[in-house]
Amino acid sequence: MKKGMSFYFQLAFTLLVCAFLIVPIFMSITAGLTNNYFVGVKSGLTLRWVYQVWGLYSDTIWLTINIALVTTLVNLCVGVPCAYYLARTRSKLSAFLDECLTLPIAIPGMAIALGLISVYGGISEFRMSWLFILVGHVIFTLPFMVKSVLAVLQSINFRVLEEGAASLGASFWQRFFHIIVPNCKTGIVSGVLMTLTLSAGEFNLTWMLHTPLTKTLPVGLADSYASMRLEVSSAYTLIFLGMILPLLMAAQWLNRKPKRTA
């Protein structure tokens, strides 16, 4: 097939956009690995900055992983039943819940954080612990989990499947764990990946909620941008990318997969 002018124009445009997005990331990565960024790569490559970041900020990394995992766990336990309930019932209550779940997507993270602080901020034990951030993250990410499972549930005829299982003698819980959960696996996995990614990268809300002892990676990152030399914060970014990119790639891969089999 002969490719016309417009094809090459589009290709050039796409490459340009990619470059626009990727070049800064690439620059940042090199910055984190060079001895002296102002001298350039010829000053030599090093892992020194990475080690230094690890020494300074490893607790933020562990806390981020911890919060992301627990958020995911909470989302699994709450989000999947919630999506199932929403898909199953069509009542005023379920419509209201559906609306409530959309809200955190629309409201800025700052506002959610402010709400949390003004209501629960007085309970200092809670305010000081990482659980406070966890609550914020659950509120922020739960809608994504629910919507992603809900989308799958609405695309399969799960009621008939359930009726089929019931006719064979399966109790409610057997139906839920044998039929519903396995058949929304794609929704659950993509919800999990989304939760992990969103929680690990969340800044707005976390920045408002954090205390000096409960800093997550993105908050620490902002901190280092403000107070450290460029190479250190770049190395920090590098670690962050190393954590988040595999998750993003897994999510992308998962989104493509169903289309191939369908």
Q: Helices in 123-213 by DSSP H: which ranges?
A: 124-128, 130-155, 158-167, 172-175, 181-183, 185-201, 204-209
The answer to whether the CB of 152 falls within 8 A of the CB of 187 is yes
**Least Å distance between CB 166 and other proteins?**
5
**Least Å distance between CB 106 and other proteins?**
33
Residue 168 or 226 with smaller CB distance to other proteins: 168
182 touching other proteins, by CB under 8 A? yes
183 touching other proteins, by CB under 8 A? yes
Choices 84-92, 137-145, 182-190, 236-244 (CB under 8 A): range interacting with other proteins: 182-190
**Least Å distance between CB 93 and other proteins?**
16
55 touching other proteins, by CB under 8 A? no
Q: Which of 106, 119, 160, 226 binds other proteins (CB under 8 A)?
A: 160
As a whole number of angstroms, the distance between CA 33 and CA 208 comes to: 31
Q: Which of 135, 170, 230, 250 binds other proteins (CB under 8 A)?
A: 170
With CA atoms as reference, report the closest residue to 76 among 155, 159, 141. 141
Question: Which CB contacts under 8 angstroms, 24+ apart, belong to 224-227?
Answer: 224/53, 224/56, 224/57
**223 is written with which tokens?**
């901190």
179 touching other proteins, by CB under 8 A? yes
Q: Which of 17, 163, 213, 246 binds other proteins (CB under 8 A)?
A: 163
As a whole number of angstroms, the distance between CA 225 and CA 57 comes to: 13
Choices 53-61, 71-79, 91-99, 170-178 (CB under 8 A): range interacting with other proteins: 170-178
Q: Is 214 helix (H, G, I), strand (E, B) or coil?
A: strand
Binding mask 113-152 for other proteins (x = CB under 8 A): ----------------------------------------
Q: Is 211 helix (H, G, I), strand (E, B) or coil?
A: strand
Q: Kindly give, in sequence order, each residue whose CB lies less than 8 Å from that of residue 214, ignoring residues fewer than 6 positions away.
A: 63, 128, 129, 130, 132, 133
Q: Which of 10, 43, 58, 157 binds other proteins (CB under 8 A)?
A: 157
Choices 77-85, 174-182, 220-228, 246-254 (CB under 8 A): range interacting with other proteins: 174-182
Residue 48 or 178 with smaller CB distance to other proteins: 178
94 touching other proteins, by CB under 8 A? no
As a whole number of angstroms, the distance between CA 208 and CA 129 comes to: 14
The full length of the chain comes to 262
**237 is written with which tokens?**
């970014």
198 touching other proteins, by CB under 8 A? no
Residue 122 or 182 with smaller CB distance to other proteins: 182
Q: What's the distance, Cα to Cα, between the start and end of the chain in Å?
A: 28
As a whole number of angstroms, the distance between CA 130 and CA 123 comes to: 13
Task: Give the footprint of other proteins on this chain (CB under 8 A).
Answer: 156-157, 160-161, 163-171, 174, 178-179, 182-183, 185
